[in-house]
Amino acid sequence: MTGKSVGGFKRARPDASLRFDPEALGLREFPREFFRRDTTRVAQEILGAWFARRYRNEWFGARIVETEAYLGTVDAAAHSWRGRRTPRVEPMYQDGGHLYVFFVYGMHHCANVVTRPAGTAEAVLLRAAEGFAETPAKLLSGPGRLCAGLGITAEFSGFDLLSGGDLRLFKGSADNARIGTSRRIGVDYAGEASGWLLRFFIRDSPAVSGPARLNRQ
């Protein structure tokens, strides 16, 4: 038996090209109140922020370049639609700044940052991120790849990003003029909600995922 296992998932190592030093870059964490605000705003303002993970005392991270907002009980595309509250979805009801990670299609993980105060169930899906010069542009392009590249699995669902632990979000931003908008990807089953313009991305980033026609506006 090798490696530590929690909740059935082996701890995965982040991609080596993502190693960095948050302290040397002078990065500061977002305060709790940043995450307790309107989910759509958080989804936009989290673009450019650093999603970072500590693994064996080394930091790995990347800048978020694509997100989607999921608006809780009234959003047919959200796991919390109609107030669904099962063990899997429970982290969505936690205070802003927690993580909600789920497993889909039998092989991929998706990571969300929970928003608004405890008791609500909204979140921002992290869809893509940019690494460094030596990082392949597509390594973190798409929610599944983003989790794979950073080694994020369901063991981190419910993790508090402001606990001073191994997963954190450091401040960073993008020019409003560079932010594009579109409907969300992969939620065609959600009726009217599938057309809501809740996907945001940094236009000129090569790491943005999705079909080209959704990346124009």
Region from 22-30, 36-44, 80-88, 199-207 binding DNA, contact rule CB under 7 A: 80-88
Region from 32-40, 43-51, 169-177, 206-214 binding DNA, contact rule CB under 7 A: 206-214
Q: Does 86 bind DNA (CB under 7 A)?
A: yes
Site for DNA in 173-192 (CB under 7 A): 184-187, 189
Q: Which helix (H) or strand (E) holds 67?
A: strand 58-70
Interface with DNA: number of residues (CB under 7 A): 41
Q: Does 205 bind DNA (CB under 7 A)?
A: no
Query: Of the candidates 34, 51, 60, 70, which one interacts with DNA according to CB under 7 A?
Result: 70
Q: What are phi and psi of 80, to 5 degrees?
A: -95, 10
Query: Of the candidates 105, 164, 192, 217, which one interacts with DNA according to CB under 7 A?
Result: 105
Q: Does 144 bind DNA (CB under 7 A)?
A: yes
Query: Of the candidates 74, 104, 118, 197, which one interacts with DNA according to CB under 7 A?
Result: 104
Residues whose CB falls within 8 Å of the CB of residue 200, separated by 6 or more in sequence, listed in order: 43, 44, 47, 66, 67, 68, 69, 179, 180, 181
Q: Does 203 bind DNA (CB under 7 A)?
A: no
Q: CA-CA distance, 19 to 214, in Å (whole number)?
A: 31
Query: Of the candidates 92, 150, 152, 167, which one interacts with DNA according to CB under 7 A?
Result: 92
CB atoms within 10 A of CB 58: 14
Q: Does 197 bind DNA (CB under 7 A)?
A: no
**Range list of H helices, the chain:** 32-35, 39-45, 143-150
Instruction: Determine the length of the chain.
Output: 217
